Structures are given as structure tokens and as C-alpha cells.
Structure 1
Amino acid sequence: METESPLPLTADTKQLAQQTVFPILFTISFAHLINDMLQSVIPSIYPLIKGEFHLTFAQVGLIAFTYQIVASILQPFVGFYTDRKPRPFSLPVGMGLTLTGLLIASMASSYYTILVAVGFIGLGSSIFHPESSRVAHLASGGRKGLAQSIFQLGGNAGSAIGPLLAAIIIAPYGQFNVIWFCIAAFVGILVLLQIGKWYRDRLAYNAKNKTTHSEYHNHNLSRKRVMFSLAVLLVLIFSKFFYLSSITSYYTFFLIHKFHLTIQHSQVYLFLFLGAVAAGTVIGGPLGDRFGRKYIIWISILGVAPFTMLLPYVPLFWTAVLSVVIGLILSSAFSAILVYATDLVPGKVGLIAGLFFGLAFGMGGLGSAVLGKVADMTSIEYVFKICAFLPLIGIFTAFLPNIEHKKKL
């Protein structure tokens, strides 16, 4: 007895399997925008929380550490599990956990309740990123750098919008107004339910037609060389995200301390930086597809060093200009690093996405905690002076093998 195909073999479904599915890429990018916008709300109100609960910089760093370490520890395990057993409808569940964290944060009356709230938000992130990265991979049609850039664009745009909305909605009126962001989380749940349906149908189609995912590359590298190359990529992720944590967690404090800006004005400058990060993400992926990801990694991490070294010493106008330049250049690396890693270990998109997103969150959390302690012991300006040297670690890109050919798209 013949079994009916879970997704009929029509011209439309064949096209979906072989070409870039832009409606899905832009939809999952929008969901990423909502997810990361909600996550960026908490760092955006650090100055408010610090004043309200009379916290030290080290305690502020511990809030970031709690959120990011929960996400970083769980993401590789989520990715490893879903490589074997994909769970399309885990995406709205993750957004539901973020919604729970926001509700708790809006009504938190103590420092420890804030830690619980950010723990829920971190848990939601640990589920969202590995599975949504797989959706982008499935919809890429082989243009993986472009797909990752579109996906990352949403996340970076959300991270940029979050502080601006926090400055408008939360900073003038108080902590309880975090609750308004729960509306966005509910919209995200509805969007991810629709993505989950497409994801489920695509998996069913691929299972029925195994030729649709014959995109793996044979790079002829030994297991030892692959592991070494992954280690190099993780070192580069450390450099990138440890530096980024100095900006996302402490840039507003730096501007307030050095240039005597208000909290709201400092959030506008943070928005400019994060907007540049979003723009740089769009550029990095397609350029990696066209010219080779190793070259983009070189330029993105090592190439930003002169600008990071200048940043702590210039007046306000040039601080804003340099932060935009740094955001543009540094952000172009992540899509290239992630796709390069999936080419090194084909067929393990969830594990690689979980590992690299997890390390990104972990480095951000560790960076926030360590740099907060350094700021308490020295000054916030000193933090930016020592972090300026982190991009020099980009020299390790020289140890990466050439595993790809240039593509003209």
C-alpha cells in the first residue's frame, strides 16, 4: 500500500527545496528582531535598575552574566538534541519563556527577582537560536551566508531598537513599563507558530525526498584539523563578543561618566552603535558568499583594531563616529564564522548554531561580569582602554584552512 507524501511533489515544493525562500527568511528574521529586541530591554535599563536597587557595577555585571550564561550553557545541548529530533513548535515555547521573564522583570521588587527574570529570558533564547538558525539554513537554497545575514539582521535590528524603545517607554516612567514589551512577545509567539508549520512541512518533504539536502561539502580535512579550526573560530568569537559586551553593557555608563549625558541621550548613542551592527551584519554574509568567508573574518575582527584603540581618547562627536565604524566592521564576522563552521561540520546546523550562539552569549555574560568588577576597581574609561586590544586576536584567522571557493551570485 502506497503512503501518501506528507507534502505533494508539485513545482512549488520543488522550487522551495532548491531556491532561497525569502518569505520564510524575512519572517524568521522578524521573529529574531522581536526576540532580540525583548532581550535588549534588560541591558537598556541597567542604569535605572542600578539606581533603584542601589547596585554596584559588579552586581549589574552579574545580571548580564546570569542571563547570558543560562543561554550559553543550554544552547549547544538544545542544538545537539534538535539535530537528531527537530522540534518545530519549540520556537513559540521559547518566546513564551521570554514573555514570562518580562512579566517577572516588570514587577520585580528585589535584585534576586531580577536575576530570576533574566534567567527565564536566557532560557527562551537558548531554545530560539538553534532552531531558528536551522529554519534559516533550510530556507537558504544554498546561499547560506545571505540567509544567515538576513536572519542576523533581524536580531541586530531588534538589539538596536530595544534600547531606543526602552529610553522612550521605560526610562521616563519606571521599571513596571517593561510590561508593555509583553505585547511584542505575544506577537512573536503567533509568528513563530506559522514558522513552525512551514518548518514541519519542510522536514517532512526533505525526509520524503532526500536529494533535496545534498549540499554538504567534502573539505578533506582530518578530524584533528577540523577540531583545531573550530577552536580558532571560538577564540575569534571570544574576541568579538567580549569586546561587544563592553559596549552593550557599559557604553551608556561610559558616555554618562565621560561626557555627562543623560540616560536617555546615552541610549540614543547606543542605538546608533547597534544600528551600525545591524547594517554590518547584512553586508558580511553576502560578501562571504561571494569572496570567501575567511577574508571577511580577517577584515572584520583584525581590521577593527585601529578604531577600537582610538575610541577611548576622542571627543563625543568622534566617539559616535568611531562607534558606528566599529559596529559596521565588527558585526560582519558572525554570519561568516557561523557558516564557515557549518561547512567544517556538515549536517550539524543545530549543534554548531547552539555552540556558537551559546559561546557568544557566554562571552557576553563573562565579559559583563569581569568588566563590571574591573570598572568598580578602576574606572569605566579604563575598561574601554583595555578592551580596545581584543580585536588583535583576529590574527589567529591565519590558522584557518581555505575550504571554500569564491562564488559569484
Structure 2
Amino acid sequence: MFLLAVGHSCVDVYQGTVAALVPFFVAERAYSYAAASGIVLAASLLSSIVQPLFGALTDRWAMPWLLPVSTAVAGAGIALSAWGGSYVTTLAMVAVSGVGVAAYHPESARVARLASAGSHTAMGWFSLGGNLGFATAPLLVAGVVGAGGLRAAPLLVVPAALGSVLCVLALRAVRTPDRAGSRVARAVGRDDRASFVKLCLAVVCRSLVFVGLAAFVALYARQRVGGGQLAGSAALFTLYAGGAAGTVVGGRLAARWDRVRVVCWSYAAAVPAVAGVVFVPGPGFYLFVALTSAALYVPFSLQVTLGQDYLPSRIGTASGVTLGLTVSVGGVASPLIGAAADATSLRTALAPLIVFPVLAWLLTRRLPEPAQPEPIPRFSDSLAPQES
């Protein structure tokens, strides 16, 4: 699980770098808010379509090779996105990176669920790895691109190279019982599609808030706090780093109370936190960014396991949809926020985001807690010699 979590961080760093690169595109290439948010859209649009498809494939066939390959693709796309001066080339390369990220998550979630024997706490640590990758992205971009400009962007491929190696090592250590290309055994259980749809709608609301803030919080911080690139990078780092704490807290709270209750409480707490980000000026802005991040990330891994338990016969599909929606839908809406910011102001464009945690709370407060599934056999059990 440690190797899988670190490998997860090496992939999700590329989701974070997209938003972290936006201020540099605005500064060096004079992109408008709408044009800059189009880059976020490019990373999300194909991902929103492709990720559930990869989820459906991993429900039928084991494809562990996707972990190192998709990690390499995600890094290569980002490394090449800022190299050329063409806007179309930038969009295309960012889209390629998004496909790599999309291909990684369903299969990695399936492998992690097997490796953790269905433990919510272990899945929380797996999700934490991804959140730490998010949190590292602004620091990585600030150190590489901030020092050398967009021409230094090819150096951003280094985490992908490391992550690919770690994925190979993790797969060897885990020794998944499903050989590449073999059929995956279906879990026994009854699908609750209605609850899964409600959960997905809540994830959509979360995505609209988080990705909308991630795309513009670095630029907004300069208006609320003052300062240059450092103030923006600090705000983005706070947004991502708070998620790491929220994920750990979410796993511990779910061990004491049921997951649905924890998810519901988290969205209720997110309402005043997001309002503080939009309206509170000065240093207090960073406090509300951290609170927003924690409130939005407490449900993160819990929603993945809830989706898997609502669709026990299609774990890959459930993982692909819930993990994919966390980024894709918000990315699709980002150009609308950017266009509104160009026409009015960033504060006016971000203010409607306060409504979405309210909607997520309404959607989750009536969800049932799924019955605990049978413990998933660990790999060592699956590989024990069988008597003939």
C-alpha cells in the first residue's frame, strides 16, 4: 500500500500542475482568464469520457500494466505542454496528460482495494498519496517553471519517471492474482444504482467547487492578500495540502461513525468555508482556503469506497466514475467561471460556488449506508497453494 500510495502521488501531481501552470501562461503568454481556464478544460474533457471507459474495461480484464504506462503518459503530456508556443499544441498535450491520469485511476483503485483487503483506512492512505501529489504540484511548478520559465517545463517529467518505476515495484510486491488480460472475478452483491447516482451528483458538486477554486485561487490570492507569484503558489499549496489532512481525518471519522454521516457533515462545513474564501480579505483568506480544502477532502476516499459498495459488481466502473468526476466536471465548468471573471470580476465569478456544497449536503443526507461487504482475500491468501 505504501508503494501504491507513493505511485499515486506521482500521478496526481500532474492534475495539480495544470492549475499551477495557469498563472505562468497568463504572465508569459498573456492568456485571458477564459483562455487559461480552457487549459484546465483540456485536461478534464477527455478524462471525463475516458476514465469511466477504462473503469468498465478493468471490470472485465485485469490490466495492471496500465499503472506504469499511464503514469508515463501523464508526465510526458505536462512536460511537453509548455514547451511549444502554440495554444493548440498546449491544449493537445494537456489533454494527453489527462488521458494518462484517467487510465491510471480505475485500475489502481481496483488493485489498491485488493491489496487493502477492503479496508477503508488503507484506502484512505492510498487517497492521501494522491492528495500529497496535488499538494506538491504548486511547489514543483514554482521551483522549476518559476526559476526557468515555461522552457524549463520538460523537467516536470521527473515524477512520472519515478512513479513508473514505483508502480512496477508495487505490482511485483503485491503480486495481484489477476494476470494481465485475464478476466476479473465479479464481486457478489446487489447494486444500488439509485444511491450511486445520488452520490455521483454530490461528487459533481464537490468537483465544481474544488476545481473551480484550484483554477483561479492562485490568481485570486493576489487580489485578496497582495503579493506576486509567491502569494498565489502559497494559496494553491494550502488548497492542496489541506486535502491531505482532510483525507486522514475522513478515514478516522468513518471508523467511528458511518461514512454517509461523515460525508454529509463535511459538505455542511464546506458552505461557510467556501464563503470565507470568496469574501474574506487579508491573511484570513488562507485560513478559509485550508478549511475549504479539509472539508472537501474528508469525503474524498469515503466516496470512492461508497461508490464501490453501491456497485459491488462493477468496482472498476464505480472507481472510474467517482474518481473521474472529481476532476472532469469541474474542469468542464472552469471556462464558464473564466468567462464570467473576464466580464465581471473573479469574486463575482467565484461566489456561485458557495451553493454547491449545499446541494451536495442535500444529496447525501438521505443516502443509505451500504452493508459491509465480505472481507476481500489478501494477495497472500489468493496465492496460497491449492490442493488438487
Same fold (TM over 0.5): yes
The residue aligned with 2:340 is 374
TM-score, length of structure 1 as denominator length: 0.85
The superposition leaves residues 346-374 of structure 1 with CA deviations (integer Å, 9 ceiling, x where unpaired) of 13221111111222222121231221111
User: Does the aligned pair in 1 maintain the 2:116–2:122 contact within 8 Å?
Assistant: yes
The residue aligned with 2:68 is 92
Counterpart of 1:141 (choices 96, 106, 117) is 117
CA drift at 1:345: 1.1
Give the distance between the partners of 1:120 and 1:199, measured in 2 at CA: 28
Counterpart of 2:220 (choices 243, 254, 261) is 254
Instruction: Answer with 258-267 or 233-242: which moved more.
Output: 258-267
Counterpart of 1:188 (choices 136, 148, 163) is 163
Following TM superposition, the consecutive aligned residue runs of length 4 or more in structure 1 with deviations greater than 6 angstroms are none
TM-score, length of structure 2 as denominator length: 0.90
The superposition leaves residues 39-90 of structure 1 with CA deviations (integer Å, 9 ceiling, x where unpaired) of 3222112111123222111111111111111111101110101111111111
Counterpart of 1:387 (choices 343, 347, 353) is 353
Counterpart of 2:132 (choices 135, 157, 166) is 157
User: Does the aligned pair in 2 maintain the 1:64–1:365 contact within 8 Å?
Assistant: yes
| Higher alpha-carbon Rg | 1
Aligned runs of 1:313-328 on 2, under 5 Å? Answer: 313-328=279-294
Give the distance between the partners of 1:105 and 1:126, measured in 2 at CA: 17
Give the distance between the partners of 1:155 and 1:233, measured in 2 at CA: 21
The residue aligned with 1:117 is 93
User: Does the aligned pair in 1 maintain the 2:74–2:101 contact within 8 Å?
Assistant: yes
Counterpart of 1:286 (choices 224, 231, 252) is 252
Cα distance, 1:67–1:298 mapped onto 2, change above 3 Å: same
The superposition leaves residues 245-264 of structure 1 with CA deviations (integer Å, 9 ceiling, x where unpaired) of 12210001111133332012
Aligned runs of 1:190-229 on 2, under 5 Å? Answer: 190-198=165-173, 201-203=176-178, 226-229=192-195
Instruction: Answer with 167-176 or 131-140: which moved more.
Output: 167-176
Q: Which amino acid aligns with 2:261?
A: Y
CA drift at 1:158: 0.7
User: Does the aligned pair in 1 maintain the 2:225–2:231 contact within 8 Å?
Assistant: no
Give the distance between the partners of 2:276 and 2:371, measured in 1 at CA: 34
The residue aligned with 2:367 is 400
Aligned length: 370
The residue aligned with 1:14 is none
Is 2:52 aligned against 1:76?
Answer: yes
Is 2:139 aligned against 1:172?
Answer: no
Give the distance between the partners of 1:247 and 1:177, measured in 2 at CA: 26
User: Does the aligned pair in 2 maintain the 1:96–1:185 contact within 8 Å?
Assistant: yes
The superposition leaves residues 332-352 of structure 1 with CA deviations (integer Å, 9 ceiling, x where unpaired) of 112111111111111322111
User: Does the aligned pair in 1 maintain the 2:261–2:365 contact within 8 Å?
Assistant: no
Q: Which amino acid aligns with 2:296?
A: L
User: SS where residue 38 of structure 2 aligns?
Assistant: helix
Cα distance, 1:229–1:343 mapped onto 2, change above 3 Å: same
User: Does the aligned pair in 2 maintain the 1:88–1:200 contact within 8 Å?
Assistant: no
Instruction: Answer with 356-365 or 97-106: which moved more.
Output: 97-106
CA drift at 1:198: 4.3
The residue aligned with 1:126 is 102
Cα distance, 1:258–1:287 mapped onto 2, change above 3 Å: closer
User: Does the aligned pair in 2 maintain the 1:72–1:360 contact within 8 Å?
Assistant: no
The residue aligned with 2:271 is 305
Give the distance between the partners of 1:312 and 1:131, measured in 2 at CA: 37
Give the distance between the partners of 1:157 and 1:346, measured in 2 at CA: 28
User: Does the aligned pair in 2 maintain the 1:88–1:199 contact within 8 Å?
Assistant: no
Aligned runs of 1:7-18 on 2, under 5 Å? Answer: none
Gaps of 5+ in 1: 1-24
Give the distance between the partners of 2:23 and 2:273, measured in 1 at CA: 26
Percent identity over the alignment? 26
User: Does the aligned pair in 2 maintain the 1:67–1:121 contact within 8 Å?
Assistant: yes
User: Does the aligned pair in 2 maintain the 1:308–1:389 contact within 8 Å?
Assistant: no
User: SS where residue 176 of structure 1 aligns?
Assistant: helix
Give the distance between the partners of 1:319 and 1:389, measured in 2 at CA: 19
Q: Which amino acid aligns with 2:280?
A: V
CA drift at 1:199: 5.2
Give the distance between the partners of 1:324 and 1:353, measured in 2 at CA: 26
User: Does the aligned pair in 2 maintain the 1:98–1:124 contact within 8 Å?
Assistant: yes
Give the distance between the partners of 2:274 and 2:29, measured in 1 at CA: 32
Give the distance between the partners of 2:53 and 2:38, measured in 1 at CA: 23
Instruction: Answer with 154-163 or 47-56: which moved more.
Output: 47-56
User: Does the aligned pair in 2 maintain the 1:53–1:111 contact within 8 Å?
Assistant: no
Give the distance between the partners of 1:148 and 1:378, measured in 2 at CA: 42
The residue aligned with 1:239 is 205
User: Does the aligned pair in 2 maintain the 1:242–1:367 contact within 8 Å?
Assistant: yes
User: SS where residue 389 of structure 1 aligns?
Assistant: helix
What RMSD over aligned residues (CA atoms) do the two structures have, in Å?
2.2
The residue aligned with 1:107 is 83
User: Does the aligned pair in 2 maintain the 1:246–1:383 contact within 8 Å?
Assistant: no
The superposition leaves residues 162-208 of structure 1 with CA deviations (integer Å, 9 ceiling, x where unpaired) of 1012112212320022222212211111111222334554326xx9x
User: Does the aligned pair in 2 maintain the 1:149–1:283 contact within 8 Å?
Assistant: no
CA drift at 1:112: 0.9
Counterpart of 2:303 (choices 337, 341, 344) is 337
Give the distance between the partners of 1:65 and 1:201, measured in 2 at CA: 35
Aligned runs of 1:355-370 on 2, under 5 Å? Answer: 355-370=321-336
